[in-house]
Every structure is written in C-alpha cells, then in structure tokens.
Structure 1
Amino acid sequence: MASQPQVPPPGPPHQDEEKAAHRHHTGSSSSSSLGITPTAPAPVTCPSHTTPRRLTTKIDLHLVPFVIILYLMAFLDRVNIANARAFGLETDLGLSGTQFNTALTIFFVPYILFEIPSNILLKKISPRIWLSGCCIGFGFITMMQGLVQNYAGILTTRFLLGLFECGMFPGCFYLLGMWYRREEAQKRFSLFFSSTSLAGAFGGLLASGLGSMDYMRGYRGWRWIFLIEGAATVVIGAIFLFTFPGFVEEATWLRDDERDYIKARLHADQGHSAAERSITLKDVGKVMSDYKVWLGGFMYFGIIVPAYSYAYFSPTIVQSYGYDKIQTQLHSVPPWAVAFVFAMVIATASDWLKHRFLFTVLPICISISGFAILLNVHDNLPVQYAALVLICMGMYSAMPIQVCWFNMNLGGHHRRAVGSAWQIGFGNIGGIIATYSFVGGDFRKGYIICVSFICLSALSCIIYAVSIMAENRKKANQTLPEGMTEQEKVELGDLNPDFKYML
C-alpha cells in the first residue's frame, strides 16, 4: 500500500526532493520547467521509514553491480581476441593479410543492425530475461572461439558474438536511465561504462595467467583464454536469469510506497515515461526524424574509432616496444586502471556541477594530446607509453559522458529506447573503421585516422550543445496548444515545451 500524502517536516536532509515531488504532483507552476503534466496523481513524499539518499543507495545496490558485471563480461569476451593474438591465434589458424582485421570487423555487422530491435525486445520481454539470455549466448560463443580450427570458424563465431552482444550496451544504458534523475545519473553511467576499463585491465592480467597454460591438455594458451572466460560468462548469465533487476514498475524488492516515490521523482525530472505502452515503428520514425538524434550518433561514432582501435591494437603497439608476451599483457593493465579512476573523477564533477559539455570536450583534448605525442615521438619508450595512458584515460572518460548526456536528454521510454540504441548502433559503425586502422603495423597511419575521428566527435559535441541551447531558448517562448490531451503531451517526450535539455 502506498504511503499517504504527508507534509515534509522542516529541515530533514531530503526536504528539497520531497518538495520537488510535491510541487510536481500538485501541478504548481514551478514544475512546468521539469517537463511534467498538470494532472498528475496525488502527492507522494519519501516514505517515513527511509530517506531519498538511502533509497538511492538501495537502488544502486540492486542495479549497478549487475550491469557492471554484465558489461564487464561482454567487453572482455569482445576484446580478448587482442590478447589471444599475442599468444599465437593468427599463426595457429593460418590467418594472413587482413584476415584478422576482417574477423574483428564481422562482429560489428549484427552489432549495428540489431541494436534498436534489441531494445524494443528488452522492453517487451523484460531486462532480466533478455539481457541474461544474451549473456549466456555470448558466453557460449566465446567458448566456441576457443575450439575453432580455421578462418571460417573464427568468422562465424565473431559474427554470432556480435549478434548476442548487440543489446548489452544500449540495453544497460536504457535501463539505468529509467531509474535515475539526470543530475545523479552520470556517476552511475560512468561507473557502468568503466567496466570496459576494468575489463581491459582484468583482461590483461587474466591473459598473462591463462597464456602460461600453453599446451596444457593439448590446448594453446589463446584457446584457454576463450574457454575459461566464456565459461565464466555462461555461469554468470545463468545466475542473472533469477537475480537481474528490471524497470521500476517490475521491482519486487521495493515496497509500494518506495516505488510510488521513485516514479514521482523521475516524473518530476523527466516527465511521464509512457512505460505502459509498446514501442511501434511509428515511434522509431518519429525519433529518427529529430536532427539531435543524428548528432548524438555522430558524437559516439567519432570517438568509437579511436576507442576500439586502442582496445584491439594496444597490445600490438605495446609489444612493438620490445616486450615479451607476458610483459605485453602486464603493460596493457596500467592505462586501463588510470582510465577507470579518471572517468569516475570526471563523472563526479559533472554530476556535482550538473553539466556535461565541458566534461566531454576536456577528456577528448587529453586524448588528442596523447595521439600528438605518438605522432612526433618515436625513440622514447617512457614518453610513448605515457601517451598511451593519456589516450586511454581521455577516450574512456569522454564516452560515458557523451552517452549519458544524450540519453538523459531523451524523454520517455519510447524515445529513450530507440534513441539510445540508435546512438550505440550508428556509433559502432566506427568499430568497423577501427578494425582496419592499424593494418600492416603502420601505426602512424592509424594514429592519424584516430585523431581525425576524435575531432569529428568533438565537433559533433559542440554542434549538439549549440542545438540544445537553441532548443531551450525556443521552448522558453513556446506554449502547448490549448486542448492538448495528457496522452498527446506524453507522446512528445523531450519535445514537450516543458522539458528542458541539460547542457
């Protein structure tokens, strides 16, 4: 039973949040700037047995660890082929020319094509069943990569890996976005996204250990990398089938009054989510007709090229510095570790200042400086290695800011589900370019390609920032047509004049 409306006592730590939710539900004029509707339900305040901070912590504990572990395993299973390459995968499978690069590329074909359908199915079926099932699928395919015997085998498994993994990233971002207010979302988005950094660091350490199992039971070390990491993923996916969280409306671990309060504060921040209806092809068409959605795609597309170039080829670059196989894996760990710490610092500052744009551009500039060093320094290994650290920490700090910024500026389930999937799907076209950026060991050519695309990302961020500022100014002088129904307002999502975009 939901708690009864109550007047917040003076002075508690959560007074401001309760007032915001109360203003929203009573239809006060101050609430119009938050994108809410005037005929909302009765006032709902924070239940007396808890506080907003404790309730947010409860959400964190029931949601964030699951999405972190899920994407950590997905990213690890995606890029461990780079570690396997250092242990002789190409030689054993008889790969030559650009065949290794093609094996990397084919992963992105289904990954790009099925992002939007995956998010639609996620909402229809539920995150617990859909994401957990996909986890079991890509874990099994990773194990199969450890058993392939030729080029056709690695192509087939990489394609299927992309098919099962396509829903992980946009699905988790979509799920997170439906639980948190915009001003508190970035730390969670970056913590989730930084599982890629943890996967990079953990993958290097794990590969150095698994690689030492070379010829154990007749299997090469690179095969053990796939077999053991894939088996671990399957076990985790099976556990998640019974434990993975869903949307607010599905959370059985919340009391009724807690669920009502969470929905009220999200409604006050983002407007009505329209969680009760299915996503249609008409919704997809409406979202894709918004030019800002395309800008979000280009932001991510530009930064994906250097990001995947680093993930797939940094072990090869480090190995070119003269390290053996084990030392190569160990030296790949520090850049990822630094990237994780820096990403969390940037995310915390971004949430504190309630600003995204500058915290996207600053890390991008750090990455550009790293590429500039590598293009001009060729005989100083400590400086070159430090440049790799700058590149990694810059890119993997900017990416979660971009995704959170764009996603949380989309209002409603249908616009966020389609828009988030589009951004990730379109952006990952850059992954195809990345797989051919360092063909033939021509690192200079690869660095130039990476710098060019990361500059495209920065330019797209600038245009997007200018666009949403112009939209906010336009909305300030815009009113809704008289007679518009509540359902029509809900369908507008962030296009509602009452919804203000976060810069």
Structure 2
Amino acid sequence: MGILHKIRVAVWGKPPPTKAESRLLLKIDFFILTYVCLMYWVNYLDRANLNNAYVSGAKEDLGFKGTQLNQINTIFYGGYMAGMIPSNLIMQKVPPRIWLPTTCLCWGFLTLGTGFTQHPWQIMVIRFFQGFFEASCFVGTQWILGSWFKPAEIGKRTAIFTSSGLAGTLFSGIMQGSIYTNLDGVSGLAGWRWLFVIDFLITFPVAIYGFLVFPDTPSSTRAKYLTGAEKTLAIERLPEVDKQRGVLGWSLIRRVVLSWHWWAFVLLWIAGSNTEMYSSNAIMQLWLKSTGDYTVQQVNYIPSSVSGLGIVATLILGWYSDYNTRNRWHVGIFLSFTAIISGALMLSPPTRAAKFAALILNGCQYAGQTVFFAWANDLTRKDDAMRSIVIASMNMFSVAVYLFWSLLFYNTTQAPDWYEGNWAMIAMGCFLFVVTIVCYLLQRRQEKQEAMEDNSWGSPIEKIELDGVKA
C-alpha cells in the first residue's frame, strides 16, 4: 500500500484530504478533461490537415505557387490572433458551455468547406475565419483549467490537454496517409479532399458533446452531475479570488498593463512558441518531399515522430512542473537548450540522421504550452478577468510575431536548408533563456511581497495581545 501510494503521488499528485473532494475532483477531471482534450484534438487535427493535404496532392490540384502555403498559414494566424482576447472577454459574459462548443462547431463547418475549394485564395478566406473561431480553444481552456484546479493540480492537467493537440497533429499525418491509400478518387474526390470531410465528421459530435457536459466555471456551473455541496466545495477549495469573473471595464486595463505578469509572460511565450517553428511550419514534411526519396505515405507518416516526442516531453515536464511548482522555470531553461541544440544541428548536419534528430528534438518545444501557461495561471489566480487577458495576450502576441517570423525565416522557398531559420531558432532559444530568468526573479519578488502581507499585523486586538507578549 505504501509503494502504491508513493506511485500515485508521483504520477497524479497527493490525493485530496476528504472523500468529498476526491469525488468532486474525479467528476471534473472526467467531464472537463474529456471535452477539452477532444476539442483540442480536433482543433489540431483540423489545423494540421492543410500541411498534410499540401504534400498529398493539394499543391498540384489547386496550383499553389511560391510562398502561398506560408501566406495561408499567416492569414490563419491573423484570424487566430484577432479572436483570442475577444473570445476570453466573451466568456466573461457568455457561459463557456455555450461559447466553446459553438466555436468548435463553426471551425468544423469551415474545415468541411476547405475540402471543396478550387483555388488557394478560397482557402485563404476560409482559414482566416477558421483561425478566429479556433482561437477560443487554447486560451479559453487554459483559463477554464485555472478556474477549477489547484496550483499543484494544473500542470499535469494542462499537459494532458496540450498532448491531445499533439495527438491531433500525429493522427492527421497517419490519417492522411491512410486516406490517400484507400479513398483517393472515391466518389470523384481526391484523397486530400476526403481528409477535410472526415475531419468535419469527427468534429461535429465533439461539439455536441460539449453542449451536453461542459460545466462552465465553479461560480456559474449548472452541471447536473454536481451536487449543491460539490459546487460550493469547488469554490472553497481554491485560493480566494479578489476579482471575480465578469469584472470588466477600464480598471481591468489598468490592472493588466501595470502588472509584471502581462509583460513578462507575453515575452516568455513569444520566445517559447517561436522555438516550435520547425514543427509548426511542417519543415520535416517539406524537406522529406524535396528529397524525392519518400512516398506520399511516408511523407505523412514519418513526421508523426515529432508529435510523438512532443507528447512524451509535454507529459514528463508537465508532471515535473506540478511536482515542483515553485521551480517551473527549470523547464524554460531546459527548452532553451533543446531549441539551441536543434538549431545548431540544422545549421550544418553532418548526416541525414543528424537532420532527422534536429527536427524530432524540436518536438520537445511543445512542452512550453503546458508549463508556461500553468505558470501564468498560478501567479494570476487572484484576478479572474486579468488572468484571462494575460493568458490570451500570451498567445496573441506570440502569434503576432509568428505572422512575420515564419515568412522571413521558414517559408517554402528557403527549403530544404532554411539557413536563416536555423539562426533564428538559436536566437529564440537564447531569448527564451533570458526571459525565463527574468520571470523567475519577478516570481521571487511576488512571493516575498505576499509573505510580508501574510505576516503583517492583523486586528487591533491581535496587536495589543502581541505587544503585551513583547512587554
């Protein structure tokens, strides 16, 4: 029993102190995590499918030229950037159980439409709106997880959530390879078109499931599977919130802009997300296709190894961040080194195996999604509205950098070496190292201030009593 308990604590954290809290945690783990993981899985499935379709016949069928694929990805992230803060602000007023499944349904229909396009410009229009609706998924879920789970619980849950997105990327490549083999030409549709149709058929029931089970936030939930006592416990078990959900206005802008959290964590995620560039720009797929040595199926299957390592790194580092909540900065240092190493290897790979190693190693960078957002969630818990803006801003500004960074350093005309991109990867790795240290020092300062407040004198009676003791 002792060994099993230690394993349980190492893997899933300390069990709740009461049976009532254990039952509550089991319920919210099941209903929240199943939906957000399925939603993020189809989110990445729908997002990654364009790169897989491009190398599976869409480039030739639609007449892609030059950097049009990069332009489409840039337009997608333009919509994505435009949707993040509005989405989190909307959820301050509209129940998340309505908003999140609605946006999932919208991007599902847009994915279906992509399968019937006839020109790259049509995809550009669709992907802008798809990006706008998909923006709700990641930042909205990060805010929801911070609303329900304790600081020592959130890292591993965030790891599971972000891993589900990587699983979508992994599955998209495998699915496209299988579709190309089995459905190419069926009913007059090319295999790459079937990918978008099947994506929609998977996305639609996930959205319906969200309408049925998603519980909102602890203070607003109407979930029938939670008792009245459990709804009260869901609020009481978390640190007290000074500013509750829905507190908007000019005071919110002042609270956000004057806080160190907004500036520091935005810079942290700009650095962290832009060390994912090899993976997010489908560099391995484009390189494999450029060699002419691999079949369409292999070009889709082999890059799944990047997502596979990303899942492993995300789970391990997410678990570590919960085990050592005050030292989440360790992960930032680790990821800065993996970025620098992968960029250095890509600069002058001695063998083809070394190039594979560099591109696969870059999958580790996905772990930043878990740890950096858990870190920000922890340190902004006392202000729900500000927390939602900080989290949304982290993603929004990182995407703003992505819009031009990918075109400058990782566009298709720079294949197969991406020399400038390799130097950009090394630079971002170094930047990540510096910003991680800055965030850690600011965290230390915040902890000292909070400790001083906790130890400050209480009521006048307490002061008299304590003065009497001193006398």
Pick the TM interval, shorter chain.
Answer: 0.7 to 0.9
Q: How large is the RMSD of aligned CA atoms in angstroms?
A: 2.5
Identity %: 24
In structure 1, stretches of 5+ residues that fail to align are: 1-12, 19-45, 485-503
* C-alpha distance in 1 between matches for 2:456 and 2:369: 38
The one-character-per-residue Cα deviations of 1:439-472 (angstroms, maximum 9, x if unpaired) are 2114222222222223222321111111121233
CA contact (8 A) 1:134 1:164 kept: yes
Residue type at the aligned position of 1:115: M
Q: Which segment is superposed worse, 55-64 or 401-410?
A: 55-64
Q: Residue 471 of structure 1: which of 420, 432, 446 is its match? A: 446
Q: Within 5 A, what are the aligned runs for 1:73-112?
A: 73-112=42-81
2:372 is equivalent to residue 402 of structure 1: yes
With over 3 angstroms needed to count, the CA separation of the structure-2 counterparts of 1:133 and 1:84, relative to structure 1, is same
The one-character-per-residue Cα deviations of 1:196-252 (angstroms, maximum 9, x if unpaired) are 221121111111112222222222221111121123212321232222231123033
SS state at 1:406 partner = helix
**Which residue is equivalent to 1:38?**
none
CA contact (8 A) 2:162 2:314 kept: no
The one-character-per-residue Cα deviations of 1:43-97 (angstroms, maximum 9, x if unpaired) are xxx4xxx253443222211211111110111122112111011012222222212
In structure 2, stretches of 5+ residues that fail to align are: 1-8, 460-471
Q: Residue 334 of structure 2: which of 342, 353, 362 is its match? A: 362
CA contact (8 A) 2:245 2:385 kept: no
* C-alpha distance in 1 between matches for 2:445 and 2:306: 38
Q: Residue 339 of structure 1: which of 310, 327, 352 is its match? A: 310
* C-alpha distance in 2 between matches for 1:16 and 1:339: 28
The one-character-per-residue Cα deviations of 1:73-127 (angstroms, maximum 9, x if unpaired) are 1122112111011012222222212222111101111211221111111231111
* C-alpha distance in 1 between matches for 2:110 and 2:406: 20
Q: Within 5 A, what are the aligned runs for 1:235-384?
A: 235-249=205-219, 250=221, 251-266=223-238, 270-272=239-241, 274-275=243-244, 277-313=246-282, 314-321=284-291, 322-354=293-325, 355-378=327-350, 380-384=351-355
Deviation at 1:372, TM superposition (A): 1.6
Q: Residue 196 of structure 2: which of 201, 226, 231 is its match? A: 226
CA contact (8 A) 1:305 1:433 kept: no
* C-alpha distance in 2 between matches for 1:238 and 1:357: 38
TM-score normalised by L of structure 1:
0.81
Residue type at the aligned position of 1:165: E
SS state at 2:226 partner = coil
CA contact (8 A) 1:302 1:430 kept: no
Deviation at 1:377, TM superposition (A): 1.1
* C-alpha distance in 2 between matches for 1:388 and 1:309: 7
* C-alpha distance in 2 between matches for 1:138 and 1:386: 34
2:154 is equivalent to residue 185 of structure 1: yes
TM-score normalised by L of structure 2:
0.86
2:131 is equivalent to residue 162 of structure 1: yes
Deviation at 1:409, TM superposition (A): 0.9
* C-alpha distance in 2 between matches for 1:16 and 1:243: 25
Q: Which segment is superposed worse, 240-249 or 291-300?
A: 240-249
Q: Residue 214 of structure 1: which of 176, 184, 191 is its match? A: 184
* C-alpha distance in 2 between matches for 1:130 and 1:308: 30
* C-alpha distance in 2 between matches for 1:16 and 1:71: 27
The one-character-per-residue Cα deviations of 1:153-192 (angstroms, maximum 9, x if unpaired) are 0110111111111111100000010011111110001110
**Which residue is equivalent to 1:65?**
34
Residue type at the aligned position of 2:226: L
Residue type at the aligned position of 1:91: E
Deviation at 1:360, TM superposition (A): 2.4
Residue type at the aligned position of 1:241: F
**Structure having the larger proportion of residues in helix:** 2
* C-alpha distance in 2 between matches for 1:197 and 1:17: 30
Q: Which segment is superposed worse, 196-205 or 243-252?
A: 243-252
SS state at 2:360 partner = helix
**Which residue is equivalent to 1:426?**
397
Q: Which segment is superposed worse, 343-352 or 187-196?
A: 343-352
With over 3 angstroms needed to count, the CA separation of the structure-2 counterparts of 1:358 and 1:225, relative to structure 1, is same
**Which residue is equivalent to 1:389?**
360
Q: Which segment is superposed worse, 426-435 or 102-111?
A: 426-435
With over 3 angstroms needed to count, the CA separation of the structure-2 counterparts of 1:261 and 1:479, relative to structure 1, is closer
